[in-house]
Amino acid sequence: MELLIKIFLPTYFILFFGISFVAKTIIVARRIKKNPLVLPQDESAYALVGNYFKLCLAGIFLYVILFPFLSESSFLPIDSLDIDWFKFVGLTLMLLALIWTIVAQNQMKDSWRIGIDNDMKTELVTSGLFSISRNPVFLGMIMSLVGLFLVTPNAFSLLFLTLGYVLIQVQIRLEEEFLYRQHGEKYLDYLIKVRRLI
């Protein structure tokens, strides 16, 4: 199991970042003739959240690259949660999260962005996975972080889970305000019918 995890983690996150962020950014940019990465570079609170997101993602990536090469004690393990059954659940959750996230992003089509696009009006997507969750991409990211914690229960993965969850919750609320300004009553109707996450 340990060897599988050491191979799986870097492979999984390279695929997750490669497909969900890099490939999707390139695909959407070609279709809309604009970079869908629209995180602000100013001094606003929103830009601060974006910067913390980037740091968190960089930390996770560094963690999964280093994990196979360092002893588990280096990461302050939580021994009471180091159970094979939890690891299996975590691996399954991570695989489901990857599929879920890719499907959700594809259903967003040209409305997909990293950040809030104030310059271009996008379509409000309410079908497919968006009929179950208003934020299925963020839900997939949370599922992936929970899976990572179950597979490698330690202080670092718990920190990434906690920080990632808080940042996602803040980002969701920023996007909700934006979507209400952009779509008005249509978004309010959607908000009433579909839960924030699940």
pLDDT tens for residues 64-121?
999 999 998 999 999 999 999 999 999 999 999 999 999 999 999 999 999 888 888 8
Instruction: Tell me what the mean pLDDT of segment 172-176 comes to.
Output: 95
Q: Residue 28 belongs to what domain range?
A: 2-193
Q: What pLDDT score does 44 carry?
A: 84
- Half-sphere exposure of 119 toward its Cβ, with a 13 Å CA cutoff? 11
Task: State residue 77 phi and psi, 5-degree precision.
Answer: -65, 150
Residue 91 sits in a domain whose CATH number is 1.20.120.1630
Residue 12 to residue 5: CA distance in whole angstroms: 10
For 132-165, write each residue's pLDDT tens digit.
999 999 999 999 999 999 999 999 999 999 999 9
Q: Three-state SS for 195?
A: coil
User: What angle separates helix 136-151 from helix 155-183, to the nearest 10 degrees?
Assistant: 180
Give this prediction's pTM: 0.93
Q: Indicate whether 40 pLDDT > 90.
A: no
Q: Which residues lie across from 37 on neighbouring strands?
A: 114
Higher pLDDT, 8 or 39: 8
Say what the pLDDT of residue 72 is.
87
Q: Please, what is the average pLDDT of the chain? A: 94
What's residue 107's pLDDT?
A: 96
Give the three-state DSSP class for 117.
coil
Q: Structurally, how many domains does the chain consist of?
A: 1
Task: Report residue 136 as tokens.
Answer: 């299925």
**Residue 198 belongs to a domain:** no
Does 60 map to a domain? yes
Residue 46 clears pLDDT 90, i.e. is over it: no
Q: Which pair of structure tokens corresponds to residue 54?
A: 């980037």
C-alpha 100/C-alpha 179 separation (Å) is 22
